Structure 1
């Protein structure tokens, strides 16, 4: 349970840090709205998708807190849907919109962890 609480707390902190960094970077947080800038600071310096990593960590943390396997098992379909349905589409969009600067960022920072 302690590990779950720590993981959930760290995940919420990463999500909050990522949101604040995006706001300061002058871009939309809502993935249905257009990206206005490439944000490379804060948690985006070690993961291109820290909000999604935080979401996955939160799901796992909640599963650990409640001592149930559903959180761990849910990670598999949630990750697959998030990866193929959101992340790959976002990356293609950002590459089309920002071109070489985004490709350089992509080459220097991992997708997840």
Structure 2
């Protein structure tokens, strides 16, 4: 019997978002890109609110996984398909939350480079993380995961 390695994601997904923001800021600085918008208190507040909302969504997903005692890290096998709590509304609340947080970071940093990096972050996330996780869940829980996918969207 072979050991279930789970989705076998090779890096922590939050690093992808940090790398996107960091690379974007470096592009701004070294590419001498102008800020996307002027620094105003309204932009700062909206950015901060998005950051807080994003973190709240991430932590809600983590707490829900902990309540069901299943793997939070995408390099470990899932024990079950969690379909309640925030997972009744989105199949990827942690990645949704990280994306909302990233958007807040773009606003706070006034970063055109980070905005340009965002689609790249999402494509890499999909190919190297989400697709692997979904493949793992389809293989491990074919009927249950199919029913879940029919009920709940990937993002929102």
TM-score w.r.t. length of structure 2: 0.70
Kindly tell me the number of residue pairs found equivalent between the two proteins: 113
Structure 2 spans left out of the alignment, 5+ residues: 1-43
Deviates more, 1:20-29 or 1:36-45: 36-45
Greater percentage in helix: 1
- The answer for the alignment partner of 2:68 in structure 1 is 25
Q: CA separation in 2, counterparts of 1:66 and 1:90?
A: 31
Distance 1:60 1:71 in 2: 9
Query: Counterparts of 1:70 and 1:25 in 2: how far apart (Å)?
Result: 39
Deviation for aligned residue 1:26: 1.4
Which residue is 2:84 aligned to?
A: 41
Once the two structures are superposed, the pairs formed by residues 40-79 of structure 1 within 5 Å of their partners are: 40-79=83-122
- Unaligned stretches of 5+ residues in structure 1: none
Match of 1:4 in 2: 47
Q: Which runs of 4+ in 1 moved over 2 A?
A: none
**Structure 2 counterpart of 1:91, from 109, 118, 134:** 134
Counterpart Cα distance in 2 of 1:78 and 1:55: 11
CA RMSD of aligned residues (A): 0.9
* Structure (1 or 2) with the larger CA radius of gyration: 2
Conserved in 2, the CA contact under 8 Å of 1:26 and 1:37? Answer: no
Larger RCO: Structure 1 or Structure 2 (Cα < 8 Å, ≥ 6 residues apart)?
Answer: 2
What secondary structure sits across from 1:29 in the alignment?
Answer: coil
Q: CA deviation at 1:99?
A: 1.1
